[in-house]
Structure 1
């Protein structure tokens, strides 16, 4: 087992440190030297032996049953997404063969054409939140939404990107949790290792959030953006998996019809429209 990543053990240890004795219904007697629950408390509440739980956390037992994992999920107060993630880690806990060098991510031609022609901000993200394709309106929404950029790197390391998000703390938290969900048990992927290593060194905030092992789906929902040209925007974000790819996602932003955000997004679209194609530039039809 030496050298194998201990994803399952790291995850349950991080999550038990976030559950208080009060939440678990355990009376506190005296001074506690560890944050959250003790190992033996988790084992007792989950109905397993303390020695078996210790082996799980240390990576010396990598074949827990679904029943054990579901009991741990209950004790650790995991929601549905986090429970699914834990079960996936348990299924993937056996040693894997050495990974091949990852192939370059290529956006299907039809999807690239769709992104370019959509009248809404649209882009394609890779599994590690690399921007693989984006239309002009997406780039106008944020100059960091351009092929070759990485959304995690932008939101943690670029002050201009941070200024776009009035609720940056929540945006950063959600992005890290979504990244955990996206890569799953593949944290030994060279691209993931490179990105996590870079961000952990450059951003203490990322390092703290990554250590929490939060996991959540990057679902749609209203996103607030403070745009320097058109002002406050409230946009819905839809994320659609792309068939035939490994983790690529089509992301589309759209406002609720008839709102100030719809008007402001239309102003932004008009500002980037080539002058020759604007209605006022075309002029009246000849008589």
Structure 2
């Protein structure tokens, strides 16, 4: 993995402490001027209802037998989101890592094989751009529109079909596609951090993070923020070279029977200019068979 779990725990908790405003939590400013932003360890311990020594050991990753109740208290004290709490549990309690449902056979970051039923499903979604990716953000399968709304996956070599590599390492193209490029990069890095917590021993994921840290200054900036966010939903703004401005609702749907794989779909508001642009793009596109394993 890119770093040791102890270092990950320390960096994450320090960042979360630094992000909090003591005044908003009702804590006094204190006699001495604060040298760093956020909460001191003593204050985090006080809010969690534990000793400073114990909190310090938690932050240093030296509590292998930490109880659920103590971890809950730390999460409340630091105002962790659900995704951040899941990430902290994954780091501190590897034996009780956030479960992934399903019975499919997977590697440490999800299987590279997409089931035929899923391939048929996305192939039948003619008006809905869709693709399947794994935890390392490799795009494993896509339908015709799914392979055209951003990158032409069919024209890329398998190793190049990675959303994070394309976003951070081909900056010129990704900036042209995504007007909100900086916030989008922060979101992607936060999603990758959540995946690292769930799959700490995944070689493909570890290699991806190491490669991005080495070759992308923007990724290093985003990664250092220690943000965590699980895959979910939202609206993506895309400037397409053919279809123009697109505002697409996306849904990231984990496949229960295929742990580590996620189906991503994009839809437009009925009657919108985006819906019309997608229809135009579909008429100009050459139908592509869903890639075989």
Same fold (TM over 0.5): yes
2:168 alignment counterpart: 156
Q: Which consecutive segments of 4 or more residues in structure 1 shift more than 6 A?
A: 100-103
More divergent stretch after superposition (222-231 vs 137-146): 137-146
Equivalent pair of 1:63/1:93 in contact (CA under 8 Å): no
| CA RMSD after TM alignment | 2.5
Cα separation, 2, equivalents of 1:248 and 1:101: 11
Equivalent pair of 2:130/2:146 in contact (CA under 8 Å): yes
Shift of 1:137: 1.5
More divergent stretch after superposition (145-154 vs 224-233): 145-154
Equivalent pair of 2:45/2:52 in contact (CA under 8 Å): yes
Equivalent pair of 2:20/2:39 in contact (CA under 8 Å): yes
Cα separation, 1, equivalents of 2:269 and 2:226: 33
Shift of 1:239: 2.0
TM (normalized to structure 2)?
0.82
Q: Which runs of 5+ in 2 are unaligned?
A: 97-106, 288-293
Alpha-carbon distance change, 43 to 102 in structure 1, aligned in 2, over 3 angstroms = closer
User: 1:244 aligned to 2:257?
Assistant: yes
Q: 1:265 aligns with which of 265, 271, 278?
A: 278
User: 1:34 aligned to 2:36?
Assistant: yes
More divergent stretch after superposition (129-138 vs 209-218): 209-218
Q: How many residues align?
A: 268
Q: 1:106 aligns with which of 104, 109, 113?
A: 113
User: 1:64 aligned to 2:76?
Assistant: no
Cα separation, 1, equivalents of 2:243 and 2:174: 16
Kindly name which structure, 1 or 2, has the bigger radius of gyration based on alpha carbons: 1
SS of equivalent residue, structure 1 residue 188: coil
2:201 alignment counterpart: 188
Equivalent pair of 2:248/2:266 in contact (CA under 8 Å): yes
2:139 alignment counterpart: 131
Cα separation, 1, equivalents of 2:108 and 2:58: 30
Equivalent pair of 2:130/2:266 in contact (CA under 8 Å): yes
- The higher-RCO structure (CA 8 Å, 6+ apart) is 2
Cα separation, 1, equivalents of 2:241 and 2:110: 37
1:140 alignment counterpart: 148
Q: Which runs of 5+ in 1 are unaligned?
A: 95-99, 275-287
